[in-house]
Amino acid sequence: MAVRVLVVDDSAFFRQRISQILSQSSRIIVIGTARDGIEAIEKNSSLKPDVITMDVEMPKLNGIDAVRQIMRERPTQVLMVSSLTHEGAQVTLQAMEAGAVDYLTKDMRAWMGKSESLNKDLINRIVALGRSKHFVKSSFLIPSTRPKATTVTGVKTREIPRLEREITAQTRSNLVKPTKPSLPLGCKVVAIGSSTGGPAALQEILTQLPANFPVPILLIQHMPNTFTSVFAERLNQQCNIEVKHAESGDKLKPGRALLAPGGMQMMVDGSGTVRILPGDERLTYKPSVDVTFASVAKTYTNKVLAVILTGMGADGRDGAKLLRSAGATIWGQSESSCTIYGMPKAVAKAGVLDSVVDLKDFAECLTRVKG
C-alpha cells in the first residue's frame, strides 16, 4: 500500500518541488498540500496522511506549534524540512522535541537543481516513516524536568547468551525477545550509533544516566555539522553527564559523552584520545558508525559495549562484525521500539548481537547495580 503524504510549506515552489519528487515513486501518494500550520492541522484530521513534510517558518501558525497540536489531536509521522543555518538547527530540534521524528535540510541550491541523491533521500525517508509500524512520541525533555538519575555503586555481571549466527529473513519480526542485560564487567567504552529517530532515543537514554556514570561514551548520530553542534549543546544542558561536540585531542573519561561532528569521522587512539578526521568521499555516512566501531575494536578489543539504535540503512553492521571478532559486546534496539528498524535489523541479521533491548530499558541496563 502506498504511503499517503501531506506536504506543508508556505512556499509554492517547495510545495510543488516536494510533491514533484515524491510523485516519482509508485510507493508514495501526495494526498494534499497546506500553506500554513493551521491548514496542516485541519488536513491532517480530514485527509489522515501517513506522513507529513513540515516547513518551520510559516504564517498564521509555525511548524513547531503545528507539530505540537498534531501530536495532541492525531499523532502522525512528521518530517521537518528546514535550513542549514545554526538557527535552523535550533528550531528543527525544537520541532523534534514537539514530536517530529526526522528532518531534511533545506539547501536551496540542491532543491533548485535536479539532485538525484536528494530525490532518493527524500523518497526513502518518506517510505521508511510511512511503513514504520511503531510511532515514537517525542521523548525530549526540557532541562527543568529532566529525570533524576540514581548513583551507580557497582556493576552487576551476567553471562549474556550468544545468538545463533544464522538468522533468516523469514524470522525477521521475531529475531529475539528483548532482554535486560547488564553493562559488561571491565567495559572501557560505550559506543552508540543511531540515525532516524536517534535524537529522541539518545535523549531518553542519556538524560537518565548519572553524573558519575563509570564509562566514557561515544555517540555517532547521522547529522550535518550544524545540527550535531547544536544537539550536543542541548544534550549537555539536559543531562547529568557531560555531553560535548567532539574535537581532536578530547580524552575519553567517565561521565562524558563525545558526539561525532557531522561531516567528519571520529576515531580513538591507544591513549584514549579522540581524533576527528575529514570524511572520506567514498563513505556514505559522515560520521559513520562503522568507522568509529572499527576504531574502538582495534583500541579496546573486548572491552567495548556497542549499541545500535534506530535508523535507516546498515551503518554499524560491518563495524559490529569487527567488534564481535574482537570479543566485544553488542546490543541492538528492539524492533517494536524503533522509529525505523533498519540499522539494528542489519546487525541482527548479521548474527552478531548479544542482546536486544527496548528503548525504555537501555538506561536501566547501562546503570544496573548489584542487588
> Active-site residues: which are they?
195, 222, 315
Please give the Cα distance from 165 to 233 (Å, whole number).
40
Q: How many CB atoms lie within 10 A of CB 83?
A: 17
53 three-state secondary structure: strand
Which amino acid, one-letter code, is at 156? K
Q: What is the dihedral of CA 12, 16, 17, 19, to 10 degrees?
A: 140
Half-sphere exposure of 235 (CA within 13 A, CB side): 29
Q: Are 153 and 369 in contact (CB under 8 A)?
A: yes
Distance CA 321, CA 98 (A): 36
Specify the pairing of strand 274-278 against strand 264-268.
Answer: antiparallel
d(CA 109, CA 235): 31
Copy the grid coordinates of residue 99: 514530536
DSSP-assigned letter for residue 72: H
Decide: 5 and 52 in contact? Cβ < 8 Å: yes
How far is it, in rounded angstroms, from Cα 133 to Cα 345? 14
Are 214 and 254 spatial neighbours (Cβ–Cβ below 8 Å)? yes
